[in-house]
Amino acid sequence: MMKSKVFLRKILSLALVFVMVLVGCFSSPKPDTGTDVTITVASSTLQNVVRVTDNKFRKNSIRVSPDGMKLLYCEASETNPNTDLYFEDYRIILLRDISISAKTPLVNEPSYGPVWFDDNSGFAYVAYEGSGSKLVRSNISGGGKTYITRTSVGDSDRNPSIRKNMILCDTLVGSERQLVSLKDNGNEITILGKGEEPSWHPDGAKFVFIRREEERRDTSIYRPGSVYEMDIKTNQVTQIYAAIIDEQRNFAEVCSRPSYSSDGRYILFAKGGDVRLATVEKKEKTPRKSSANSRTTTTISERRLHLYLMKADGTDLTQLTSGNVDVFSPAWGTNNDIYFISNVQNATEIWKAHLNLE
């Protein structure tokens, strides 16, 4: 059974100035008035950044409809980006028209991880109930609730991905998250191996996912999260991107939310690493009976999530965002548009941008 609370790690840290390299065009339906914020992009790859939402509530788990017109996401009734949240703290929201950003609450019970069916009107999600987490399907117009799984496949089912009538998800089995495939009616459940956050390739023959492997380096243990691909027929697994372990700074990268472009040529994902925030001068008193002070400097750094793009074979890795806040939950729209979440001026909002892939 699922534990009473599934902890969602604190994705947003103290809100700092969000700074990217300014070369391109910036626009927003409600322009920022603060002088301490710059949202900018490298025009060679990421263009036309636009803010989609503007209500300051914490958000996560974006999914764009197949026609590119609507948006599903999760929202919590919390505005403080420093508050720890659980998956059960979120509810599913619909933007019926992305260009207008008028939201419609769809699921009022604890829910997470919405994903669209191919018909643009149906969607599946994870419902958190007293007896565990279950996969559920519903409709954006008529509502309703049909169970795909009556009981959890494992302990804490989540991250569904749909291709035609097949669903991928991950669940906790023992101490490891395992990949699962099943029919959209809940039948033919198959455990595929260790991994999480699966996402189908457009042709349905394979999928991309994250796998965390424990590695020991001297006396330290690291769990980097790398990007892998699995052939659904042969179960052959190929590593696409190897997360970096930095022993000097004692951290390991963790990748998240990988997904293919509509033509399958590119993979968009987020990953965390350290960024330098500031060099601070510290005064230290010299021994007693001396009025002099010595001065030392130290570099402060924090780990941030940012967006990356690579070709589907793992080559040509490009960092799309940078700066001193988190950028996460990337999702493809249509015509090489992408959506993501970040916080600027303590506002956790959804943003849209265009990828120049020429």
Q: Are strands 166-173 and 122-129 parallel, antiparallel or unpaired?
A: unpaired
- The count of other CB atoms within 10 Å of the CB of residue 348 is 26
pTM of the full structure: 0.83
Q: What does the pLDDT read at residue 153?
A: 76
| pLDDT the model gives residue 336 | 94
pLDDT at position 14: 27
Question: Could you state, in chain order, the average pLDDT of each consecutive group of 10 residues for the chain (358 residues)?
Answer: 39 32 31 34 73 92 95 94 88 92 91 94 91 88 85 82 95 91 94 97 97 88 94 96 88 94 96 63 51 57 83 94 87 96 84 89
Could you give the C-alpha distances from 238 to 31, 172, 221, 336, in angstroms and in order? 44, 22, 24, 25
At 125, list the tokens.
């999600």
Looking at residue 302, what is its pLDDT? 63
* Closest C-alpha among 129, 115, 230 to residue 167: 115
pLDDT of residue 27: 30
Q: Which residue has the tokens 């919390």?
A: 78
pLDDT at 322: 82
Domains, the chain, ranges and CATH? 7-355 (2.120.10.30)
